[in-house]
Amino acid sequence: MAQYTKLLGSEIEEIARQYKLKITDYEPIEQGLGNSNYLIKTIQGKFVLTVFEIEAERVTHMIKVLKLLEKYGFPAPRLQTSVKGEAQTKYQGKLVLVKHYITGHVEKNLDAGKLSQVGAALARLHEIPAPDYLPDKHSYVTKTYPEVMEQDIDLENKYIYIHHSKTVETKPVPILDEDIELVKQAGLSFPRSHFFRHAEGKSGVKLGRTYGEKYFYKWWKKACDNLGVKDVDLYGGTRHSSVVALREHFSPEQIKQGTMHQTNKAFERYFRIGANDVREIYSRSSLGGKEVGTKIATLQNNKR
């Protein structure tokens, strides 16, 4: 993991004092995505110090979830409270949390016994009543896709490049010839402008303004209606539910490639998967869009 915020020992000690902790040693934690983490050793024990690069709203949400899990005794990181009685503090304008360190190691290969433990823990998690503040829609996609710039659409090589703010990575997504024709009809004129932006004719919206989450989702619903797909949200329709619905038509490896579930550490690694194979999956599934869409909608309705 990249250390987005690099702290000196004196700075870590300053943060630790806000939590009534006395530092004896510290080291960066390499695992994790999107934030800067440090293992800090103190006379009171071991803790994880996290400097967040994400929005304050998401940090506040994380705090609520961790407190909920603690309330029900579910095994999860416990928050350390500051001298002011709060979980979060600020350093250099960024939110900071300190959590009790959980002793252990990362298991890469789980045997039957460990899988059974994971299943039991997951079942216990599902027994915790869901609070009202948990969203019923995943906003990640509706936040990411409207940020696509015209320069991110590569018509020559048939890709759209999606930039992920959370992982600070770029994912090249193959597009079909029919998609390219639609883009050409819309026109690409300003490379540094957002592709999903308002044109003339919408009352009360400034010309050229980027689509908001709700407006982007509105167009997703219109696309679903055109295909006869009902009750499928944007995230679910493009990820997990699609995988389940497509498994009757493609092999597991093809589905993995088509839905791009693997993390792309580098552009070259992605190309080894085979972009043409991905396009074939998109093309075949779009031809049977109504059939696949019906399966996705059924799966989502069954989960409610």
The answer to which of 85-89, 142-146, 158-162 has the lowest mean pLDDT is 142-146
pLDDT of residue 253 exceeding 70 = no
Residues 6+ apart with CB under 8 A from 31: 1, 37, 106
Highest-scoring range by mean pLDDT, 71-75, 101-105, 214-218: 71-75
Q: What is the pLDDT of residues 286-297, one digit of tens each?
A: 555 444 444 434
From the CA atom positions of the chain, what is the Rg in Å? 23
Angle separating helix axes 213-227 and 289-303, nearest 10 degrees:
120
pLDDT value of residue 236: 61
At 173, list the tokens. Answer: 């997504």
pLDDT of residue 264 exceeding 80 = no
Would you kindly state where each structural domain of the chain is located, as residue ranges? 9-104+114-126, 140-303
Residue 134 CA to residue 264 CA, distance in Å, equals 29
pLDDT of residue 3 exceeding 80 = no
Domains 9-104+114-126 and 140-303 equal at CATH topology level: no
pLDDT value of residue 167: 56
Q: What is the pLDDT of residues 100-124, one digit of tens each?
A: 999 888 888 888 898 899 999 999 9
Residue 182: how many CB atoms within 10 A of its CB?
A: 10
pLDDT value of residue 145: 78
Q: Running DSSP on this structure, what letter comes out for residue 272?
A: T
**Alpha helices, H only, the chain:** 9-17, 56-71, 112-126, 140-144, 177-186, 213-227, 234-238, 240-246, 252-259, 267-271, 275-287, 289-303
Residue 128 CA to residue 202 CA, distance in Å, equals 44
pLDDT value of residue 244: 42
Query: How is domain 140-303 classified at the CATH fold level?
Result: hpI Integrase; Chain A (1.10.443)
Q: What is the pLDDT of residues 230-244, one digit of tens each?
A: 766 676 655 544 444
pLDDT value of residue 163: 78
pLDDT of residue 301 exceeding 50 = no
pLDDT of residue 69 exceeding 50 = yes
Residue 257: how many CB atoms within 10 A of its CB?
A: 21
**Alpha helices, H only, 131-196:** 140-144, 177-186
Q: Running DSSP on this structure, what letter comes out for residue 84?
A: T
Residue 282 CA to residue 176 CA, distance in Å, equals 8
Helix (H, G, I), strand (E, B) or coil at 172: strand
pLDDT value of residue 24: 94
CA 62 to chain centroid, in Å, comes to 14
pLDDT value of residue 47: 95
pLDDT of residue 27 exceeding 80 = yes
When comparing pLDDT for 149 and 137, which is higher? 149
Residue 50 CA to residue 39 CA, distance in Å, equals 9
pLDDT value of residue 110: 85
**How distant, in Å, are the alpha carbons of 18, 56, 109, 177 from that of 93?**
15, 11, 39, 46
The answer to which of 90-94, 178-182, 273-277 has the lowest mean pLDDT is 273-277
Q: What is the pLDDT of residues 156-181, one digit of tens each?
A: 888 888 876 555 677 777 888 888 89
When comparing pLDDT for 282 and 72, which is higher? 72
When comparing pLDDT for 284 and 90, which is higher? 90
Helix (H, G, I), strand (E, B) or coil at 217: helix
At 147, the pLDDT band (50, 70, 90 cuts) reads confident
Is beta strand 159-164 parallel, antiparallel or unpaired with respect to 153-154? antiparallel
pTM higher than the cut 0.75: no
Stretch 6-32: mean pLDDT, rounded?
Answer: 88
Query: How is domain 9-104+114-126 classified at the CATH fold level?
Result: Phosphorylase Kinase; domain 1 (3.30.200)
pLDDT value of residue 177: 87
Is beta strand 169-174 parallel, antiparallel or unpaired with respect to 88-91? unpaired
